[in-house]
Structure 1
Amino acid sequence: MVWVSRVLLRKYGRFMDDLRIYVKGGAGGMGHPRLGGEGGHGGDVWLVAKGKLTLKGMKTQYPRKRFVAGSGANSRIAALKGAKGKDVEVNVPSGISVVTDNGKMLGELNKPGDRLLVARGGFGGSLVTNFLPSKGQTYSIHLDLKLIADVGLVGFPNAGKSSLLTRISRATPEIADYAFTTINPELGTVTYADHKQITVADLPGLIEGAHANKGRGHKFLKHVERTKELLFVVDVSGFQLSAKTPFRTAFETILLLAKELELYKEELRAKPALLAVNKMDLPNAQRNFNELMEQLQNPQDHMHSLPKEMIPADTLIFKEIIPISAHTGEGTEELIMCLREVLDEEAEKTIEQYQQEQLCALRLSEI
């Protein structure tokens, strides 16, 4: 039986990947009706991505979470055109989506240096507006953090994702022999002989119903969106979350993971995926692995007895299936090379697609 301790729940609660802030553009300045003057525009509020900043650090640095730009100057005899109000720049982490309270997407900041205008200042008063200024835009916005990684590790709790990340990268996540060890997403870097590096994200273990936000599943699943490829990690012996939940074989585990991703967002099915079958050092592992391979090669023969809610709409096709042991290191070198090969293959496809689009555009311009 698996119990989540209060200590772990408190730690989970401190993980911050969403921060709500208030932004307001400055009001425009008054025009001067007698002289025909124009008030200055209000200042704007900008978000600027910084590499090492976190949302928790932002909350500490800006406890009021309120950002208001300066008002535009009024028109006057000495200056018929009022000065623009002072802009406000808010440093935010890179890798965030910016959404208003009513769900309107304002934009994304994916890398350090990216800038996003989130609240425009009001116009200054002029002849057109009867010399009356307008107010600036006002929003309560959510900064929604999503990891940006080459590879996302996807699996149920205790599948060995943290051990695998430690084995193949320089990351040092917390590891223990119980579920929900990983509370925060962990990032590791895999370095190759030619100095090429790829980032791997160990995402907290999903549970059945994550697509419906069980276990706060949306906070986990959203990180999958920002990875280039998925690495499913399953225990070759199967998985059971607790005595109150059913035991799932490795085959059923794979189906459930695919179903959770599909129900959360169908586009995730288009991501290239690999499968690491972990814990091959355990007794009967080879027999269980052979059975799993037969099931994956003939999935329709083994799904007829399963509930419909477990079965994904499309059969999941893995680029590679690698038996591994994160404990002993068995198969991990092959896995590392497969991750690189799939990423390189996808990069080549992207380049070819871009070249074809440029060629088509050139041909159209010549018509």
Structure 2
Amino acid sequence: MVRCGGAVLRKYGSFVDSLRLYVRGGTGGMGYPRLGGEGGRGGDVWLIAQERATLRSIRDRYPHKRFVAGTGANSSVRALKGEKGKDCEVHVPLGVSLLSDDGKQIGELNAAGERFLAARGGLGGSLATNFVPCKGQRRIVCLDLKLIADVGLVGFPNAGKSSLLSTMSHAKPQVASYPFTTVQPELGKLMYADYKQILVADLPGLIEGAHANKGMGHKFLKHVERTKQLLLVVDVSGFQLSISTPFRTAFEAVLLLTKELELYKEELLRKPALLAINKMDLPGARENLSELLKQLQHPHDFSHLLEEEMIPAKPLEFKNIIPISTYTGEGIEELKACIRSSIDEEAEKENEEYRKKQLQLLQSSAGQGDRR
């Protein structure tokens, strides 16, 4: 467990989603008083987003997690202006937030090639510094990774998310018939006949109170932020986390999951969402499904089933509700088709909004030209 400012950063298993680095810019080079020469500036430390980079690879390759840029060259008779010190470049994964040592966000890197100046090199010695070089900037930078995926699987433990991911994709998450099998995010790709690929993240099961950081809480709720859409997965027969917790029906599970997302960050509920009702192969599944669909159509009529503080302010609206069975394969292809359709629809909306903005800019520029 690593503490970065007020935040506690944890890692589970081999997956690392937070890392604390020491970075220091290079010291400037010495000036040359007799001839007024200026030393070279120290090198800078840059964090650069790169495909396939991982925080684990940084930790394993650089166990001391110290990154120091090169010293600037001294001024000399041959070169009155010293050369700049060598920059230090650290390749980090896409979707990483950069935090200062006190936990404040100072930047983020989301696309390949994006760069962040983590520590600036010191100035070389010159007349202004009495020809004495300056030391480079030094600080602690915490890297906080949030997975970037098209779809995030959200559900309570043992709802069948890992089985669903392995059934739909080539991912091989750990699967077993007991809660908390998944203790780290798993990524899988849905492959389509036209070679379209959709990235799906299986997030470990939440528990009631996850928004308050109970269980793995914020550790995995934060990954939902970077997914474009949500896929809630519930057991059609309901679930009971342990003998000390109450039994929850599928309808209650939907409301509780919605409430946890709402309490963690309300804007998560504005993401497009699908609902997969799993384990349709179990006895009584059809009756349970019929009851659930009736409850979802009129959620306010059944809100008395939960304590008032557990009821979301606004029910989550689902673009599609698909009954499935990861055991028999029922509904899996339909679910994949619904995911594809939803992703394509949202992409088209984004493209349309972009085209409208570009048209508005062109019209605005043309109007300004006419006035001239």
Fold conserved (TM > 0.5)? Answer: yes
Q: Would the aligned equivalents of 1:26 and 1:71 in 2 still touch at CA under 8 Å?
A: yes
Aligned length: 358
Q: Secondary structure at the match of 1:258?
A: helix
What is aligned with 1:332?
332
Does 2:190 align with 1:226? Answer: no
SS, match of residue 12 in structure 1: coil
Superimposed CA distance per residue, residues 210-231 of structure 1 (whole angstroms, 9 cap, x where no aligned partner):
1111112111111111111100
Equivalent in the alignment of 1:307: 307
Tell whether 2:82 aligns with 1:107: no
Q: Distance in 1 between matches of 2:38 and 2:127?
A: 8
Following the alignment from structure 1 to structure 2, what is the Cα–Cα distance between the partners of residues 160 and 296? Answer: 21
Query: C-alpha displacement at 1:165, in angstroms?
Result: 0.9
Question: Could you state the TM-score of these two structures normalised by the residue count of structure 1?
Answer: 0.92
Q: Are the aligned partners of 1:43 and 1:85 in contact in 2 as well (CA < 8 Å)?
A: yes
Q: Tell me whether 1:126 sits opposite 2:136 in the alignment.
A: no
Shift of 1:146: 1.8
Mapped contact 1:98–1:108 kept (Cα < 8 A): yes
Shift of 1:187: 1.1
Name stretches of at least 5 consecutive residues in structure 1 with no aligned partner.
1-10
Query: Cα RMSD over matched residues?
Result: 1.9
Give the corresponding residue for 1:12.
12
Aligned to 1:242: 242
Mean CA deviation greater in 305-314 or 349-358: 305-314
Aligned-residue offset at 1:13: 4.7
Question: How do 1:347-362 residues align onto structure 2 when only pairs under 5 Å count?
Answer: 347-362=347-362
Per the alignment, residue 278 of structure 2 pairs with: 278
Note the alpha carbon deviations across 1:311-348, whole angstroms, 9 max, x for none.
11222101111111111111111111000011001001
Cα deviations by residue, 1:145-177 (Å, 9 ceiling, x for unpaired): 222211110000000011111111111111110
2: distance between equivalents of 1:327 and 1:111?
38
Q: Distance in 2 between matches of 1:93 and 1:363?
A: 39
What is the TM-score when the length of structure 2 is the normalising length?
A: 0.91
Q: Secondary structure at the match of 2:36?
A: coil
Q: How do 1:46-65 residues align onto structure 2 when only pairs under 5 Å count?
A: 46-65=46-65
User: Which residue matches 1:135?
Assistant: 135
How many angstroms apart in 2 are the aligned matches of 1:75 and 1:333? 69
2:201 partner amino acid: A
Instruction: Tell me the distance in 1 between the aligned counterparts of 2:357 and 2:126.
Output: 46
Report matched runs for 1:102-181 at 5 Å.
102-181=102-181
In structure 2, the partner of 1:6 is none
- CA deviations 1:105-143 (Å, max 9, x no partner) are 333333444433211112223334444433322121112
Runs of 4+ in 1 over 6 A off after TM superposition: none
Preserved CA contact (<8 Å) 1:39 1:81: yes
Moved more, 57-66 or 227-236: 57-66
2:192 is matched with 192
Q: Which residue of 1 aligns with 2:3?
A: none
- Identity, in percent, stands at 68
Query: How far apart, CA to CA, are the structure 1 residues paired with 2:130 and 2:254?
Result: 66
SS at match of 1:321: strand
For structure 2, the 5+ residue unaligned runs are 1-10
C-alpha distance in 2 between matches for 1:29 and 1:262:
54
**Alignment check: 8 A CA contact 1:106 1:118 kept:** no
Q: Paired residue for 2:7?
A: none
Counterpart position of 1:67? 67
- Name 1:346's counterpart in structure 2: 346
Q: Is the 8 A contact 2:206 2:216 kept in 1?
A: no
- The answer for the alignment partner of 1:321 in structure 2 is 321
Deviation, 1:99, is: 1.6
Task: Between 345-354 and 297-306, report the one with greater CA deviation.
Answer: 297-306
Q: Counterparts of 1:273 and 1:15 in 2: how far apart (Å)?
A: 27
Whether the 8 Å CA contact 1:25–1:119 is kept in 2: the answer is: yes
Aligned 8 A contact 2:252 2:305 in 1: no
Q: In 1, distance between residues paired with 2:53 and 2:81?
A: 39
Distance 1:30 1:353 in 2: 54
Residues 282-322 of structure 1: per-residue CA shift (max 9 Å, x gap) = 11111111111111111111114522221112221011111
Contact in 2 for aligned 1:27/1:135 (Cα 8 Å): yes
The range that moved more, 172-181 or 74-83, is 74-83
Structure-2 separation of matches of 1:305 and 1:180? 26
2:61 partner amino acid? Q
Which amino acid in the other structure matches residue 273 of structure 1?
A: A
